[in-house]
Structure 1
Amino acid sequence: MIFHDTMTSAPMNFEKDLDMLADFYEKMTLESCQQLHLIYAADAFFKDPFNEVRGLDVIRSIFEHMFVQVDKPRFKIHTRILQNNEAFLTWDFMFTMKNRSYEAQKIRGATHLRFNAVGRVSYHRDYWDAAEELYEKIPVLGSLMRLLKRIARK
């Protein structure tokens, strides 16, 4: 579906909406999560390896919970692709585990987005491998995950 500007009948450009979203992620703080309504639709869908939810309040709670779980969470957006009202981002998520002596961690992932007619995110789907990017880095669990991966390759 291509959205059109009702005044000009020209296809809508979501470039500034994508820029605002990428900027939000790269500068996200616990406090800025209160501004999520400026970026996401009230009935937005969100899915990642741990969650599948609908609604702004639940999405906000997922982002706020991230600040409870980890120290210094930060996103770095690498690629932005926009076609009509759909976008694709690639990113790194960097953080350190709270109350742990683990070194800084990095998760590589991608996000598929859809914007509604007013430029708010209505669909957000994150793609990243929780086993490779997270579980394998935990000392005991990581050893088990690597062993299972080796067995599966045989």
Structure 2
Amino acid sequence: MDTRQVTQNLATFFETLSPQSVSQLHTLYDALATFKDPFNEVQGLPEIERIFRHMYGALDQPHFVITGQLVDGAQAFLTWEFRFRFKRFDTTTLQTVRGASHVAFNEQGLVTLHRDYWDAAEELYEKLPLVGGLMRWLKKQANS
């Protein structure tokens, strides 16, 4: 397995991800892969697909921009920007969440572990109308 090439294939897949291509995750992920982010922890390809399908239902124009890749053995770390617009409020402002994904591959080059790291408070909650004010106040209190 060429981990650099497998990682590049994964990066390209996510940069071109669409509602139609979610069903192609099986070409990159093991059937029993694990996925974890600040809101989900699931195992198995159907559950991972469900998360990405939900993304398209909940947000307008969601897409990933891969900003960096670090490969070591059978694992990689991808840094990214996730860009989208909210569907229910502030529908005009392009939002950006910055984060990173740790992925591990099996001998066949399929993802067995995908864990996303990003700050939900700063990158999401602070942008929400009611919750945002509270989160900014809490952050200010913690820093004073």
TM-score calculated relative to the size of structure 1:
0.90
Alignment of 1:125-144 (within 5 A): 125-144=115-134
* Whole-angstrom distance in 1 between the partners of 2:32 and 2:3: 19
Q: Is the Cα contact below 8 Å between 1:81 and 1:87 reproduced in 2? A: yes
Please state how far the C-alpha of 1:16 moved relative to its aligned partner: 1.6
State TM-score, norm by structure 2.
0.96
Q: Report what 1:122 is aligned to.
A: 112
| Structure possessing the higher radius of gyration over alpha carbons | 1
Residue identity in the other structure for 1:73:
P
Q: Distance in 2 between matches of 1:100 and 1:136?
A: 13
Q: Unpaired segments of 5 or more residues in structure 2?
A: none
Matches of 1:13 and 1:33, distance apart in 2 = 24
Identity of aligned residues (%): 49
CA contact (8 A) 1:13 1:84 kept: no
Q: Provide the aligned length of Structure 1 versus Structure 2.
A: 143
CA distance in 2, matches of 1:101, 1:113: 33
The answer to whether the Cα contact below 8 Å between 1:75 and 1:93 also exists between their aligned partners in 2 is yes
Q: Structure 1 stretches of 5 or more lacking a match?
A: 1-11
Q: Which moved more, 1:96-105 or 1:131-140?
A: 96-105
Alignment RMSD: 0.9
CA deviation vs aligned residue, 1:34-90 (integer Å, no higher than 9, x gap): 100000000001000000111000000000000000010010001101111010010
Per-residue CA distance 1:130-153 (angstroms, 9 max, x = gap): 000000011221110010111112
Deviation at 1:19, TM superposition (A): 1.1
Give runs of ≥4 in structure 1 deviating > 4 Å.
Answer: none
